[in-house]
Structure 1
């Protein structure tokens, strides 16, 4: 596994908002010891400023930072889920491109269709979340694999409280029995069915957790509680208050291809699950109560409330445990390794990595491309900063806004005529780093990983701060 030097996910999702399949898989890759670069698509939910955040030893969250300097000459495995990125992913010079087909390009997602065909047909490997998606992709590309969704079993079952946070007080006064739904509330949700559930079980409370996506009106009943978006770390706490977990989706071409993550998460908690007529739900027999009609759905809720047994709960949790994200990630890694062997590609044994000092001692505000053609210039702060060779070139940002008498000269930082101060790479013995006055360039030498060292201005005063604006 360590022979895969990096897996990169291009900017598609906000990492902290609606944790989905890509976040889970990328995190699991990193926990297998593979460097994972998650390029964040920042939103109002972003917790991080521009820069690089290290989420674990091998998991890097890039916020508005180009990963190219950190890849150097390495060719990453590019894993992507948005068909619209079919052209963009090639800019990372990938060793392999993996397209993950997670939703059918129909109904609400019909606009994806043209790019979907290109993404599937051009990918080196295609992953699919359901049987229907598998059959669709198989007609376009022979290198297709079925990879159903999964769950973080340890988190939802309570076996490991690493990510666990208590629920908010908004659930404290809601009496049981509780029928619960966790997920986006969108046009594929059957709101009439939700109303029917509330009306048919007036002695129960129906809790809906998740943001509104492409709708603005939802049914109102005294026993329906729309609690809105909750961070992933609190979802297990809410789910543990439920007595039944429901999946009230409409029957459409798009939902026929859905393998709901919530189905696995409900089972990990131990909840009885009631679903509409989703083909992927039917696979699990009486562990997921499959409902052809509205009447079936209502009968199955009653069955779940009053006829469930400890044995059934244990069986559901066993199935969930056998379908964890870690197991899915291990499957993907085996698929990648087999493909590399099939193509007789020599995997790079040296993982891409970023030293902790670069992350903790960097201020990335106002990143832009300098006129001299260098990929990015970095605002470095802190004491001595070590830059690994895979970061391409080390450069100091312009010291804008700092009077010249407040900092002393930089080692190896000559001033380029008519340009701000930039750092030239130090030529280490045995390496092949090159630079010129007008345009930076580099060549990575063979052999073991080499280092560049940039020394910060010794008189830099705390609180002044630098930026590259």
Structure 2
């Protein structure tokens, strides 16, 4: 079973961690709660949530202690009367006020949504982390500015984590310190379902066989597939556990053998799983699900339930070769896969040992330890980059900047002009390298002490006229012999007999 080794507690002497999340802490327990709850054992953790409206005429923020942890959920409240164009600046002022209360310690800034990056831009941080658990730009009602803000966050981040391999593959060239962290599992919690648990009251009257799903019911689910399954097997009962979000309840398929039980607490989930014969993942195949790595996959398996899923890429990649996971790409195949899974549910000893080997190193504790180590390394690198020159060489700026298209070694006049033309004319990213502290060689613009931009000449420019004058006088020529230009040309072509006396 997954590692359940306790994480040692300390005196919370580490600097604070501020987590910016688009998910309410008390909504559905997901990746942020698993990780922040563990970070809160070693440092103060504050989860800054999206703002809520208020009828009060002044903005404020609420501090919600989280039972059982030292996490504090911070919820800004914005007056209903606030103009839409001013709401973000109001939230920024609230965040600045909140940050002042944290004292002088630099915080770790941890982002689940790029939309909150402007709040913290410019904050002196111990480290900046982007945990990209989903491709939010593909979700329903995604803000149009999300992609631009994500790019800015990638450029500023010291470390980037992804919620699965698919999203890692999509973003791995956008940052030089990026790591995939597919969904983990609290194995002992869900393994309770294997031993049998009392049936929840609202499921006790639903006959078997029961095929269940829990999670957010939104645009990522294939509702037509659910309807087809219920119609094809009217003697099966489909149990849907979770809140309905971003879609209308009127659009949900309605059949006598489909049961919507609403959202449930994390502690209640094993009891529901215990009463299911098969666990379902009926996701639609669309842009919203292209990069998902469902946490429920290892949770279902830890509960000892065979899984039937549509071909979500990360599910196929990690679990597609397990006997206990059936992948189906059509409605008809999905029904057949459920038939096969029902047969497996009667003989778990055949397929569960293989599943447990896969789950053995997938605990949230192990994921936390790896992430914590990477955050510490990122903080060390950030400090090293900012160290004084007398202690360390200038650090290479880490971040999500795209690779350069062109590198020009030598920032003289020609190199500088070429760089400018390439950058402005073609939109290429150009890196110009020169040992001098300025570009354009020996003729360049320079701000004097008064701050006035003047035309500046480099230290060797004044020697050029002297050299030219000496080249146009042939000191070795006899009186009356032709001098000046002709001899200068011969000298420069290494053909003048007086070359040995000409200035080098």
TM-score bracket for this pair, using the shorter chain length: 0.5 to 0.7
2:367 paired with 1:328: yes
Secondary structure of 1:270's partner?
coil
Secondary structure of 2:179's partner?
strand
- 1:37 is matched with which residue? 46
After superposition, where does 1:282-321 map in structure 2 within 5 Å? Answer: 282=316, 283-284=318-319, 285-286=321-322, 287-308=324-345, 309-311=347-349, 312-321=351-360
In structure 1, list runs of 5 or more residues that go unmatched. Answer: 347-469
Q: Distance in 2 between matches of 1:79 and 1:57?
A: 18
- 1:118 is matched with which residue? 152
After superposition, where does 1:63-462 map in structure 2 within 5 Å? Answer: 63-64=75-76, 67-90=98-121, 93-104=124-135, 105-106=137-138, 108=140, 109=142, 111=144, 112-158=146-192, 168-216=200-248, 217-282=251-316, 283-284=318-319, 285-286=321-322, 287-308=324-345, 309-311=347-349, 312-344=351-383
Q: Distance in 2 between matches of 1:205 and 1:274?
A: 15
Q: Distance in 1 between matches of 2:265 and 2:384?
A: 41
1:21 to 4, 12, 31: 31
Contact 2:172 2:178 in 1 (8 A): yes
Contact 1:273 1:288 in 2 (8 A): yes
Q: What is the TM-score when the length of structure 2 is the normalising length?
A: 0.61
Deviation, structure 1 residue 304: 0.6
Secondary structure of 1:78's partner?
strand
Change (3 A) 1:118 1:58: same
Secondary structure of 2:110's partner?
strand
Q: Distance in 2 between matches of 1:110 and 1:247?
A: 27
Contact 2:48 2:75 in 1 (8 A): yes
Deviation, structure 1 residue 255: 1.2
Secondary structure of 1:86's partner?
helix
Q: Distance in 1 between matches of 2:382 and 2:247?
A: 47
Change (3 A) 1:160 1:117: farther
Larger Rg: 2
In structure 2, list runs of 5 or more residues that go unmatched. Answer: 1-7, 54-60, 77-93, 386-504
Deviation, structure 1 residue 223: 0.5
Contact 1:41 1:63 in 2 (8 A): yes
2:18 paired with 1:8: yes
Contact 2:48 2:73 in 1 (8 A): yes
Q: Distance in 2 between matches of 1:235 and 1:294?
A: 27
The CA deviation string for residues 271-301 of structure 1, in whole angstroms up to 9 with x for no partner, is 1111101111112212422223223222211
Change (3 A) 1:266 1:54: closer
**Equivalent pairs, count:** 338
Contact 1:68 1:92 in 2 (8 A): no
Deviation, structure 1 residue 52: 4.6
Q: What is the TM-score when the length of structure 1 is the normalising length?
A: 0.66
Deviation, structure 1 residue 168: 4.7
Contact 2:49 2:73 in 1 (8 A): yes
Q: Distance in 2 between matches of 1:54 and 1:190?
A: 34
Q: Distance in 2 between matches of 1:198 and 1:146?
A: 36
- Once the two structures are overlaid, the 10-residue window that deviates more, 173-182 or 151-160, is 151-160
- 2:450 is matched with which residue? none
Deviation, structure 1 residue 151: 2.0
Contact 2:238 2:258 in 1 (8 A): yes
The CA deviation string for residues 15-49 of structure 1, in whole angstroms up to 9 with x for no partner, is 11111211111012224x333222355779xxxx9
How large is the RMSD of aligned CA atoms in angstroms?
A: 2.9
Larger RCO of the pair (alpha carbons < 8 Å, separation 6+): 1
Q: Distance in 2 between matches of 1:222 and 1:321?
A: 39
Q: Distance in 2 between matches of 1:226 and 1:292?
A: 24
Deviation, structure 1 residue 269: 0.8
